[in-house]
Amino acid sequence: MLSSVRLIRRTVRLVHSPVCNPSRSFMDLKVLVSSLNDFASLSLAESWDNVGLLVEPSPPHTVHTLFLTIDLTEQVMEEALQKKVDLILSYHPPIFRPLKHITWKTWKERLVIRALENRVGIYSPHTAYDASPQGVNSWLAKGLGVCTSRPIHPSKAPTYPTVGTHRVEFSVNSTEDLDKVISAVKEIADVSVTSFSTRTDDEEQTRISLNCSQEALMQVVAFLSQSRQFYQKTEILSLEKPLLLHAGMGRLCTLDESVSLATMIERIKRHLKLPHVRLALGVGRTLESPVKVVALCAGSGSKVLQGTEADLYLAGEMSHHDVLDAASQGITVILCEHSNTERGFLSDLRDMLRAHLENKIDIILSEADRDPLCVV
């Protein structure tokens, strides 16, 4: 006799806990910030800017997910919290002017409160990425076509090649004077001394060269002014930091082959994924005028582009009068709104950071981030 067997189907739901997932990589916040600073040195940022780690949860803080945005608005913050990110890289610093209090009154204060309450850090690179060789301006130049480019305003090396910011040089005639001078200046902090023999008007002299800091300079001058012989022969040189050839603000781009303005407009719109741009034709120019040299600056371009010789200025925004000045010189201006010249860079940045960080963390882009201005 055969017995019947009834099969009962059951649905088993697997619950994945992100905390217990051993395959999910992470980085300590301090290690991650150090790596971000290595990717693009904060020394490239403008002196007026506010860059680096702006909001830090109490340590230790582990980062599983890095969230990229151009602007950190309240809508973007809500998206970041829903996606449970650990660190927000906001291109523009949400804290720029000093905050006198942290209350619920203003939207920027609320951003700080919500970040700390939810243990989310905030990091901003801003003008460090503007100036970086692999930064936003280099990305913007990719949309022009095949070209060579260089910074309009090159950055300077973060440190001087020699000790000090100034060099003081003078001559002494006697060994007695030489010993006296060297003994005195060695007592001044932040001064390095070298000497070498010279001949002036058939007279043997010893040339003294001092490298010193701004603070030490006044002490050196005070000492030398005690002797008319020394002081009348003193030269003071201001030492400049070396220029960095591939880093700096803006880009001056020379196309391998000139194209019509109409063609360039279409290239820019395609690169930025924009249906329209704003155009100010230079005096005497038409849509068929050739474009060979383009000066560009992502974001605000007035100060960076001013005075640069080019066929075309490309920027996010410029002041009304700066546009008039450029057009009067026969320079055409294309404006795309501030963050529209930056946002597309985030996809490239994500890929570069994944490689730089060796895929140790997840890196995602904001979907709520957008330029506040639109055409209606």
Binding site for a divalent metal cation, residues? 92, 130, 338, 342
Question: Which DSSP string corresponds to 313-326?
Answer: EEEEE--HHHHHHH
Q: What secondary structure letter does DSSP report for 82?
A: H
Which residues line the annotated binding site? 92, 130, 338, 342
Question: Is 227 exposed, middle or buried, given 0-12, 13-18 or 19+ CB atoms closer than 10 A?
Answer: middle
The total of other beta-carbon atoms located within 10 Å of residue 259's CB is 16
Cis peptide before 98 (omega within 30 of 0): no
Residue 175 in tokens? 């060994």
Provide Rg for the chain, Cα atoms.
Answer: 29
Around Cβ 217, how many Cβ atoms within 10 Å? 21
The rounded distance, in Å, linking the Cα atoms of 54 and 121 is 8
Distance CA 338, CA 372 (A): 9
Backbone CA torsion sign across 265, 268, 271, 273: negative
Helix (H) or strand (E) holding 34: helix 29-39
Residue length of the chain: 376
